[in-house]
């Protein structure tokens, strides 16, 4: 009987935990679906056309004409274009002398009385479903309530484009930790302006870490560092696996974007061998003796002084007959 009760309890516990897991999945799905949807339409409002807005928003209408959305031709857009393509039909807003509760606003997104971040994105996605919107639903930014207009600005001098501010400042607003790394001594030339975050990241995509590669992280690195591609006769497994095992792409204190200095970097996977022993005749035979100062000496040596072909080599090393895969030349 007792065992039966325990069994029943265990089965019950299992059912409950499965239900809980399914529950979280369902609520997560529910959340991401609810997140991106069109806002409720303003009751009774009809479309009045951009010229109707000019009566009271003359400056904005004039400036808008120069922007990419202001220059759209009819054939480029299904449905409405102009101011109301984003702000929704404006008749009630106009009839009520510019009542701001009767028009869709983007200046109070996520605040009480404002549209949600998901609703703000949905308005853009009506027309951008096929480019930026393709993978937006699973995008890490979307899942964290970042919206299109956190990065894009619609009403600004057309010469400035559509980004709120240039990279990387745009990204640093929210990614302070990455800014700190980019300022480390070893870094990709981002702060010199020769590279952008979006050289490696796709802002609208869903790959892990938003990386610009459908394949492995390694393939992304090899786009610009083809000399490390191989295949080599003598390969180094971690290099084949993922460059970021040893390198941090954003910046490091150690040289060469290395996550740690040598030999510590290498000692995560290897033992010290150099300087740690020496050979000495004992009873007429050459014996291996631990070197009392060995570790100290070896610790002060960079492994790549000898293993210079750390990414792979086509030439056998010569020191130990029959071995030769030491990545030394
Ligand atoms: C009769 C004058 C009038 C007309 C016409 C008019 N508006 Fe307004 N609108 C206003 C006033 C007044 C405000 C409030 C301004 C403020 O608070 O700075 C306003 C505010 C807004 C806001 C909210 C701004 C914010 O704070 O986020 C939006 C969006 C807007 N109008 C869009 C439109 C659009 C689109 C049209 C054309 C369909 C239009 N308006 C036509 C008078 C008008
Ligand atoms: C492509 C979408 C889009 C279109 C088209 C658009 N807006 Fe906006 N509007 C926005 C967003 C997003 C904001 C929030 C601030 C920003 O990003 O510039 C905004 C802000 C505003 C504001 C309040 C802030 C301010 O600068 O005063 C007003 C008023 C406004 N829009 C009116 C208009 C009018 C009038 C038109 C047509 C000439 C228009 N909008 C066309 C998306 C749009
Ligand atoms: C009525 C349809 C429509 C709406 C709504 C709309 N767009 Fe666009 N947008 C377009 C079209 C069409 C283009 C020009 C074609 C292109 O380059 O993709 C464009 C261009 C852009 C570009 C510049 C692309 C480039 O090549 O430089 C950005 C960025 C952009 N839109 C962002 C937004 C954002 C953010 C919103 C929502 C606030 C939005 N759009 C709403 C239709 C729309
Ligand atoms: C985290 C910042 C960020 C967010 C959020 C974001 N974008 Fe972008 N977007 C960019 C950057 C940066 C570019 C410049 C293109 C590049 O170099 O990848 C860009 C480019 C674009 C373009 C030009 C064509 C293209 O695909 O490269 C369009 C259109 C666009 N964005 C629309 C949108 C829409 C619509 C949303 C919301 C669904 C959105 N963006 C959200 C940063 C962002
Ligand atoms: C040379 C390619 C490259 C460049 C340039 C780059 N990144 Fe990354 N980023 C990566 C890789 C690869 C990852 C995967 C995680 C890792 O191994 O560090 C990543 C991860 C991230 C992450 C998520 C994980 C984390 O480390 O916090 C953020 C956020 C990020 N990058 C932001 C940025 C920003 C902001 C910029 C521009 C200042 C930038 N990245 C420039 C390659 C790059
Ligand atoms: C408005 C704030 C905001 C801006 C601006 C912004 N991000 Fe993010 N970003 C976030 C948040 C929130 C997350 C999710 C949580 C996290 O990983 O920090 C995120 C996540 C990421 C990730 C990690 C995705 C993953 O799979 O873990 C990358 C990469 C990234 N952002 C790159 C960028 C780049 C590049 C820019 C500039 C073009 C940028 N972000 C601009 C808020 C922002
Ligand atoms: C868009 C091109 C591009 C991509 C993608 C790229 N790099 Fe780089 N990388 C560069 C440039 C440019 C430099 C600077 C070269 C110079 O200064 O001579 C550099 C330098 C480096 C350096 C040497 C840094 C130093 O301090 O001298 C390392 C290590 C490196 N990259 C690793 C990586 C890794 C790992 C990845 C993949 C996560 C990657 N790179 C992706 C362009 C790229
Ligand atoms: C096992 C650790 C490790 C892995 C994995 C690794 N590297 Fe390196 N990388 C190093 C070390 C150590 C140096 C410094 C070399 C030196 O000082 O001789 C370096 C230097 C570099 C440099 C700058 C100097 C040069 O040779 O141009 C680049 C670029 C680079 N690595 C790219 C890559 C790429 C791309 C990958 C992935 C295909 C990768 N690394 C994988 C350890 C590694
Ligand atoms: C993430 C683990 C890892 C790191 C970090 C690492 N290695 Fe390796 N290394 C390996 C593996 C796995 C092998 C293959 C061993 C085998 O084939 O028996 C290897 C092989 C080697 C070989 C060839 C020896 C042989 O017998 O095949 C040398 C030399 C070497 N590593 C040196 C280094 C140096 C120097 C560093 C630091 C710059 C380093 N490794 C960092 C995992 C690592
Ligand atoms: C003074 C030169 C020198 C230094 C410094 C050095 N090695 Fe070696 N290492 C060698 C030689 C020579 C071999 C034998 C290569 C061959 O012919 O196969 C070797 C072999 C290896 C092997 C192959 C397996 C083994 O134990 O025989 C590994 C792994 C290795 N070294 C890792 C390291 C690491 C990690 C460091 C840094 C802590 C390091 N080495 C420092 C010269 C050196």
Instruction: Name the pLDDT band for 318 (thresholds 50, 70, 90).
Output: confident
Instruction: Name the pLDDT band for 4 (thresholds 50, 70, 90).
Output: low
Cα-to-centroid distance, 127 and ligand 3 (Å)? 7
Any idea which of 81-85, 133-137, 272-276 has the lowest mean pLDDT?
Answer: 272-276
Question: What is the residue with the minimal CA distance to atom 9 of ligand 3?
Answer: 69
Question: What is the residue with the minimal CA distance to atom 36 of ligand 4?
Answer: 148
Find the ligand nearest to 309 CA: 8
Cα-to-centroid distance, 274 and ligand 5 (Å)? 35
CA 31 to CA 245: how far, in whole Å?
A: 34
Which atom of ligand 5 has the smallest separation from the CA of 168? 38
Pocket test of ligand 4: the residue of 37, 121, 130, 132 to mutate, having most ligand atoms within 8 Å of its CB, is 132
Could you tell me if the CB of 326 is within 6 A of ligand 9? yes
Asked if 306 and 279 touch (Cβ cutoff 8 Å), the reply is no
Query: What is the DSSP code (8-state) at residue 290?
Result: E
Instruction: Output the ligand 8 site: residues, CB below 6 A.
Output: 218, 221-222, 225, 228, 236, 238-239, 243, 245-247, 256, 258, 304, 308, 310-311
Asked if 184 and 252 touch (Cβ cutoff 8 Å), the reply is yes
Kindly state the average pLDDT of the residues 88-99. Answer: 97
- pLDDT (tens digit per residue) in 33-86: 447 899 998 999 999 999 999 999 999 999 999 999 999 988 888 888 899 999
Could you tell me if the CB of 81 is within 6 A of ligand 6? no
Which atom of ligand 3 has the smallest separation from the CA of 152? 35
- pLDDT (tens digit per residue) in 145-175: 999 999 999 999 988 989 999 999 999 999 9
The answer to whether residue 284 scores a pLDDT higher than 80 is no
Find the ligand nearest to 58 CA: 2
Kindly state the average pLDDT of the residues 313-328. Answer: 82
The answer to whether residue 246 scores a pLDDT higher than 60 is yes
- pLDDT (tens digit per residue) in 169-225: 999 999 999 999 999 999 999 999 999 999 999 999 878 889 998 789 999 999 999
Asked if 223 and 215 touch (Cβ cutoff 8 Å), the reply is no
Question: What is the residue with the minimal CA distance to atom 25 of ligand 6?
Answer: 209
- pLDDT (tens digit per residue) in 95-126: 999 999 999 999 999 999 999 999 999 999 99
Find the ligand nearest to 251 CA: 7
73 burial via Cβ count (<10 Å: 0-12, 13-18, 19+): exposed
243 burial via Cβ count (<10 Å: 0-12, 13-18, 19+): buried
Q: What is the pLDDT of residue 325?
A: 84
- pLDDT (tens digit per residue) in 289-305: 777 777 777 777 889 99
Could you tell me if the CB of 209 is within 6 A of ligand 10? no
Q: Give me the helix-helix angle, 2-35 and 117-128, nearest 10°.
A: 60
Cα-to-centroid distance, 225 and ligand 10 (Å)? 26
Task: Sketch the domain layout of the chain as residue ranges.
Answer: 50-164, 220-305
The whole-model pTM stands at 0.91
């Amino acid at each position: 009987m007792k065992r039966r009760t325990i069994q029943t309890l265990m089965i019950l516990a299992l059912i409950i935990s499965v239900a809980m897991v399914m529950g979280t999945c369902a609520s997560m799905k529910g959340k991401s679906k609810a997140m991106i949807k069109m806002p409720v339409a303003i009751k009774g409002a009809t479309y009045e056309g951009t010229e109707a807005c000019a009566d009271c928003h003359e400056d904005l209408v004039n400036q808008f004409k120069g922007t990419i959305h202001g220059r759209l031709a009819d054939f480029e857009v299904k449905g409405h274009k102009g101011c109301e393509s984003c702000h929704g039909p404006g008749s009630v807003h106009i009839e009520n002398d510019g009542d701001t509760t009767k028009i869709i606003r983007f200046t109070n997104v996520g605040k009480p009385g404002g549209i949600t971040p998901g609703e703000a994105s949905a308005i853009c996605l009506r027309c951008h479903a096929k480019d930026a919107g393709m993978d937006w639903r699973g995008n890490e930014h979307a899942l964290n309530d970042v919206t299109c207009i956190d990065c894009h600005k619609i009403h600004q001098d057309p010469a400035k484009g559509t980004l709120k501010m240039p990279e990387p400042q745009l990204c640093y607003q929210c990614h302070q930790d990455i800014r700190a790394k980019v300022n480390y001594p070893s870094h990709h030339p981002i702060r010199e302006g020769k590279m952008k975050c979006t050289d490696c990241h796709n802002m609208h995509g869903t790959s892990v870490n938003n990386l610009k590669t459908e394949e492995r992280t390694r393939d992304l690195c090899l786009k610009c560092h083809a000399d490390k591609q191989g295949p080599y006769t003598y390969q180094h497994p971690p290099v084949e696996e993922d460059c970021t095992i040893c390198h941090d792409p954003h910046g490091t204190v150690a040289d060469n974007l290395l996550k740690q200095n040598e030999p510590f970097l290498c000692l995560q996977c290897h033992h010290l061998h150099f300087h740690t022993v020496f050979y000495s005749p004992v009873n007429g035979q050459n014996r291996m003796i631990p070197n009392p100062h060995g570790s100290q000496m070896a610790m002060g040596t960079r492994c790549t002084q000898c293993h210079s072909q750390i990414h792979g080599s086509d030439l056998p090393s010569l020191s130990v007959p029959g071995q030769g895969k030491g990545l030394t030349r």
